[in-house]
Amino acid sequence: MGYAQLVIGPAGSGKSTYCSSLYQHCETLGRTIHMVNLDPAAEHFSYPVSTENHRHLEDNLDDWLDEQLEGYLDDDYLVFDCPGQIELFTHVPVLRNFVEHLKRKNFNVCAVYLLDSQFVSDVTKYISGCMASLSAMIQLELPHINILSKMDLVSNKKDVEEYLNPEAQVLLSQLNRQMAPTFGKLNKSLAELVDDYSMVNFIPLDLRKESSIQYVLSHIDNCIQYGEDADVKVRDFDPEED
Ligand SMILES: Nc1nc2c(ncn2[C@@H]2O[C@H](COP(=O)(O)OP(=O)(O)OP(=O)(O)O)[C@@H](O)[C@H]2O)c(=O)[nH]1
Ligand SMILES: [Mg+2]
């Protein structure tokens, strides 16, 4: 049985930074994880790929993803740093195919969706971030964990708290305050959608704190049942501990 995190989220949300911090954290613990960078952009495309090329892109990526998996063992813990292009996990089924592939290889996979905490300062941005997360959740059909990244940039933690487990009513009134009355109905539907899926449930991540990284990791490990067979106990950490 192998374990894998699929780290996704909008461009610049902090995926690569999270991956390297996680790697260092595990290194300190003496725990082995492997990072796999799934961004083929640097190697293959130095230009935007148009929609006509999607088929072509897909075929190439399947082979390329296969190559990335070579050399890893069936019981490894892998962390896939995905590119920020949202269409890779929504319009194009390539990431979904990759997930199927991992499952066939007996990997327990969890989607780790990062959203920049700066998005929370603007409820419209926040909602769009939630929708992108929801879309990934539906497309990938994986256990899913939402993370609010870059918490070190948040000066007042109270501002963010209500967005960690937001209520539809709060979102709705904030959306209505910002937008013209014609959007009232749409806002209501959006807020309800977010509420219905009860997917909007973010764990704050402050990379300056080892305890915060550990807290996030514990949640993910739980999700993919890592450590349940072994003697390793998944400890619960208080993110506000230090
Ligand atoms: N202050 C702060 N900045 C961060 C943090 N994480 C990432 N950044 C910064 O945010 C920018 C984007 O970070 P990346 O880790 O490259 O984001 P990404 O999601 O991998 O971006 P793409 O691969 O382009 O989608 C960089 O300038 C980082 O230095 C964080 O926890 N705190
Ligand atoms: Mg990156």
- β-partners of residue 80 are 6, 36
Helix (H) or strand (E) holding 113: strand 107-116
Kindly list the domain boundaries of the chain, sorted by start residue.
2-165+200-223, 166-198
ipTM score over 0.95, yes or no: yes
Q: How far is the CA of 208 from the centre of ligand 2 (A)?
A: 19
Is 148 a pocket residue for ligand 1 (Cβ < 6 Å)? no
Distance CA 37, CA 181 (A): 44
Q: Which of 5, 6, 16 to mutate to test the pocket of ligand 1 (most atoms within 8 A of CB)?
A: 16
pLDDT digits (tens, 9 = 90+) for 186-216: 999 988 888 777 666 899 999 999 999 999 9
Q: How far is the CA of 74 from the centre of ligand 1 (A)?
A: 30
Region 211-238: mean pLDDT is 79
**pLDDT reading at 45 higher than 50:** no
Q: Between 3.30.365.10, 3.40.50.300, 3.90.340.10, 3.30.1950.10, what CATH number should domain 2-165+200-223 receive?
A: 3.40.50.300
Which has the closest alpha carbon to 201: 230, 231, 155, 166? 166
pLDDT digits (tens, 9 = 90+) for 52-62: 444 555 666 66
120 in Cβ contact with 78 (< 8 Å): no
